[in-house]
Amino acid sequence: MGQSKTPEAKAPEAQLAAFLAKYTDEVAALGESILEEMRRLYPTAIELVYDNYNALAIGFCPTERPSEAIFSIALYPRWVSLFFLQSKGLPDPDRILQGSGSVAKHIVLSSPDMLHCPPVRDLMREAVESAKVPFDPKGSRRLIIRSVSAKQRPRRPSANGDASSPQSEIKTKKKASGRPR
């Protein structure tokens, strides 16, 4: 309840652009640049888009089955996170993964360049290699809008001066405690 399949009136790219436009210019630009880099890294991924209550999430999947997604990027009002959706058993020697979930964990990205930092790159390579279903090297990218929540939190930071934001630098000594909210 609260979620519905989106009407097919708009092309998926136009719908995604409209979802991104709800964010501040800074977060939208960061999300778009990370999305562009993820598309370059995983050109055969099927992108499943969920404009959910808490965030705009774009999953990178080998099939149309959400349970087989390997990554997602999620845009929040103040930051963008990269989720590792099959993180159980994923080696994280640099302890950069955040979150207390047993299946999915994330890192906060301050730029698309972070996708090429050795600890992040190694995690991404390992996630792809250990995925339940691999990306199809002969496949082609598709963008599918899966759902839009009728009720959503604001996509822009509140004007009350709340400056809280997650730590966006990779910690290599100790895992950050807590999950950004």
- In this model, does residue 4 exceed pLDDT 90? no
Q: Please list the residues that pair with 147 across neighbouring strands.
A: 50
Contact indicator for 179, 100 with CB cutoff of 8 Å:
yes
- Looking at per-residue pLDDT, the higher value among 2 and 87 belongs to 87
Higher pLDDT among residues 73 and 2, named by residue? 73
**Residue boundaries of the structural domains of the chain:** 8-146
Instruction: Check residue 169 and give its pLDDT.
Output: 40
pLDDT at 166: 53
pLDDT recorded at residue 159: 75
Question: What pLDDT score was predicted for residue 170?
Answer: 42
Cα distances from 35 to residues 49, 72, 73, 96, 125, in angstroms, run: 12, 10, 8, 21, 17
Mean pLDDT, the chain, as a whole number?
86
Higher pLDDT, 131 or 147: 131
- Which three-class secondary structure state does DSSP give residue 2? coil
Three-state DSSP class for residue 67: helix
Q: How far is CA 175 from the centre of its chain?
A: 20
pLDDT tens-digit readout, 27-55: 999 999 999 999 999 999 999 999 999 99
In this prediction, residues 78-104 reach a mean pLDDT of 92
- What's the pLDDT band for 5 if we cut at 50, 70, 90? low
pLDDT recorded at residue 117 = 96
What separation in angstroms does the CA of 15 have from each of 112, 146, 163, 178? 22, 11, 30, 33
Question: CA nearest 53: which of 1, 99, 9?
Answer: 1
Beta carbons of 91 and 151 less than 8 angstroms apart: no
Instruction: Tell me the C-alpha distance between 83 and 52, whole Å.
Output: 15
Flag whether pLDDT at 82 surpasses 60.
Answer: yes
Whether the pLDDT of residue 176 is over 70: the answer is no
Query: Which residues does 146 contact at the CB level (< 8 Å), separation at least 6?
Result: 5, 6, 48, 49, 50, 66
Beta strand pairing status for 80-84 and 71-75?
antiparallel
Q: Where are the alpha helices (DSSP H) in 42-134?
A: 118-129
